[in-house]
A = this chain, B = another copy of it.
Amino acid sequence: MSIRNSRNELEQTAIRIFRQLGTRTILFHQAAAQSLGLFPTDLKSADLLNEWGPMTAGELGKKTGLSTGSVTALIDRLEKAGYVIREKDPNDRRRVIIVPLTESKKQVKQLFSSLSESTANLCRQYTEEELTLIFDFLRKSSSIMEEELERLKQ
């Protein structure tokens, strides 16, 4: 096989693997959300608040790509289920920010604890040098996904 063909095949393999990983990620979170009584994508929208910190409904809408109506409904569901609370921004009392609740993080953590443990076990099969390489690739993949999301929202 020529070097060019072999590279092409590797790139196709990458796309196929990411597609499979993506499908499983989505199905897993769908089942996890279902078991918590949430809509499929609610859990990850809530996770953005844990990652980025409290923000306004408008900011959450921009991050998730959801319409104003959808993001209001999302916050209503999350607030009702005890995952977030609406609070006045202590730095600007005219703004209402959505604050993630630590308790909910615990509940979600429990749900994900087996997945976290399996991931840690997988890591133990690799050297630190190998993991550094793999994580660098995954961080770049994550950035690509973020850029592509921005593109899609336009």
What is the interface of chain A, defined by CB distance below 8 A to chain B? 6-7, 10-11, 13-15, 17-32, 34-35, 40-41, 44-45, 47-48, 51, 63-66, 111, 114-116, 118-120, 122-126, 128, 130-131, 133-135, 137-142, 144-149, 151-153
Q: Which label, helix, strand, loop or mixed, suits the secondary structure of the A interface?
A: helix
Number of copies: 2
Residues of B within 8 A of A138 (CB): 17-18, 21
CB <8 Å contact, A29 and B26: yes
Bound CA span A32–B51, Å: 22
Q: Distance in Å from the Cβ of A148 to the closest Cβ of chain B?
A: 5
Residues of B within 8 A of A14 (CB): 119-120, 122-123, 131, 135
